[in-house]
Amino acid sequence: MLKRKMLEEIFGSFDQLSYVTGDKLTTDCECGQKVNIEKVALGKMEAVGGVCGNCETLHIRRKKSMKNEHFAEVCKEIIHESMKIMDNKKSEYAVPVDCLINFKRRAKLLETNPGEVIVSDLTKHMDVLIQAAKTGNYRWCWEDEKGEGLKQRIADTINYLQLLAGYFEETNESRKEHQDHNSLF
């Protein structure tokens, strides 16, 4: 805990701290008083904190930041699991000669193209991710008693993007072949 004067020495004028609206919390100061805690910002640094009205002790905690090493671990886990999911679902939804056959069948039924079917499936997961980011209401797990967690949704999103890349690759190859064939005449 820092006194207001110590904070000014570290950050400059105390007036540089701007208070923004947020949940009202309190903490107990060493002097026995309750301190109202608010979200505070100083430049790009965000924190939660407050100053004791009795002894002017500053109570402040910086928001946790994602360290590069931890981010790399999270990415590695998500990619590893998305590959496992893709491998498991290959046998469920596709045949060895065409990994997009499920989307082609559904596209035919819906009178559209496989790319639109893939994007439609992708949109379902994106909607969940958008709501999670917007509300902060999510379960950060692969799966629990309520079903798929956010990690699973992210892995599925990666897989749908890869399937979409496969669709574009296939249609691009078909277009090239068609163009090459037409150039012969």
The ranges assigned to domains in the chain are 2-62, 68-183
Q: Read off the tokens for 7.
A: 């904070």
Burial of 166 (0-12, 13-18, 19+ CB in 10 A): middle
| Strands 18-28 and 45-51, bridge-based pairing | unpaired
Q: In tens digits, what is the pLDDT along the chain, a chain of 185 residues?
A: 445 555 455 444 444 444 444 445 667 777 888 777 776 665 555 666 777 788 877 766 665 667 888 899 999 999 999 999 998 887 766 667 888 999 999 999 999 999 999 999 999 999 999 999 888 888 999 998 999 999 999 999 999 999 999 999 999 977 776 665 555 55
Question: What is the pTM assigned to this prediction?
Answer: 0.63
Burial of 116 (0-12, 13-18, 19+ CB in 10 A): middle
Which positions ≥6 away from 31 have C-beta within 8 Å? 52, 54, 55, 57
